[in-house]
Chains A and B, each alone.
Chain A
Amino acid sequence: MKVRVNGMDMEVKANTLMELLEELDINPKRVVVEVNLEIVKRDKFSSYVIKEGDSIEIVNFVGGG
């Protein structure tokens, strides 16, 4: 399935957000996820089903002033 993750078009096998994070080797505890501009709560990652064409943003904290 084709989705857009952090601005990059990619082909993924995952069906849920949790599976997507696993596929991308990302620790779910350290990130916040937005799908089509809506924040998805961390406890919903496993049940949230992603679909073709979704625009997904995965963010975390980085150094800043």
Chain B
Amino acid sequence: MEDLLIIKGIEFKSRLWVGTGKYKSFEETARAIEASGTDVVTVAVRRVNILDRNKENLLDYIDPKKYKILPNTAGCFTVEEALRYARLAREAGISDMVKLEVIGDEKTLFPDVCGLLKATEILAKEGFIVLPYTNDDPITAKRLVDAGAAAVMPLGAPIGSGLGIRNPYNIKIILETVKVPVIVDAGVGTASDVAIAMELGCDAVLVNTAIAGAQDPIMMAQALKHACIAGRFAYKAGRIPKKLYASASSPLEGMLI
């Protein structure tokens, strides 16, 4: 049974999306990504190290024919910077998608939503498929969609914090507020966090540090793969309502008097 996520006509088989930062080596990156079962990976745009004659390239290890490449604008603190990075990324000729980040503060890496809105509007008009990394505010999510976002990527918690889904109620309201896919981005620490996001009804979860920073990244990638599937199934299966008191699982009928 296929359960594709479709964004602007692009089909995603996996609902676990994986970042490629912070791994010990390109080889480990490739193995973790393979183990996660994902078909979409994020990348950053940076200067080529012109002094390094070795020059191994990430794309030598991650085949763009096998994985959809989602470039980000990580590290950009202004609209202008984010636009510049997004345009450079698109020029690579691999993808029109951009995981748009306009960061507002170094310590929290929380998004600057005013800048994010402006950049989303400009890039969407330029034909980009814009996936903005945003905070967990439903109103901002709605504004981003109005500005042309193809999906919204609210944070579960600060990037790399591993604090999990800190405000599941807001994520739930975002899901009810916007019609585009909602992809939790940032904050996941372990398998249960992925499951919680998926059980809420999120369309996908993006994870980087939880895998790359684990003691065994390959095993963690497998754990998150299963958690994502489990959470998605649980959401689709429809959970029972929470109740304060017990309701017996075994029948009263036939009991000895």
Contact = CB atoms under 8 A, between A and B. Distances in A.
Q: Provide the main secondary structure of the chain B interface.
A: mixed
Contacts of A7: 47
25 contacts: A5-B50, A6-B48, A24-B50, A25-B55, A30-B57, A31-B48, A32-B91, A34-B88, A39-B91, A60-B48, A60-B59, A61-B57, A61-B59, A61-B92, A62-B46, A63-B21, A63-B26, A63-B29, A63-B44, A64-B46, A65-B21, A65-B72, A65-B74, A65-B186, A65-B206
Nearest to B25: A63
B21 A64 contact: yes
A61 to B, nearest CB: 4
Nearest to A5: B50
Contact of B47 (A30, A37, A57): A57
Interface of A: 5-8, 24-27, 30-32, 34, 37, 39, 41-42, 57-65
A62 B44 contact: yes
Contacts of A26: 48, 50, 55
B19 interface: yes
A11 to B, nearest CB: 13
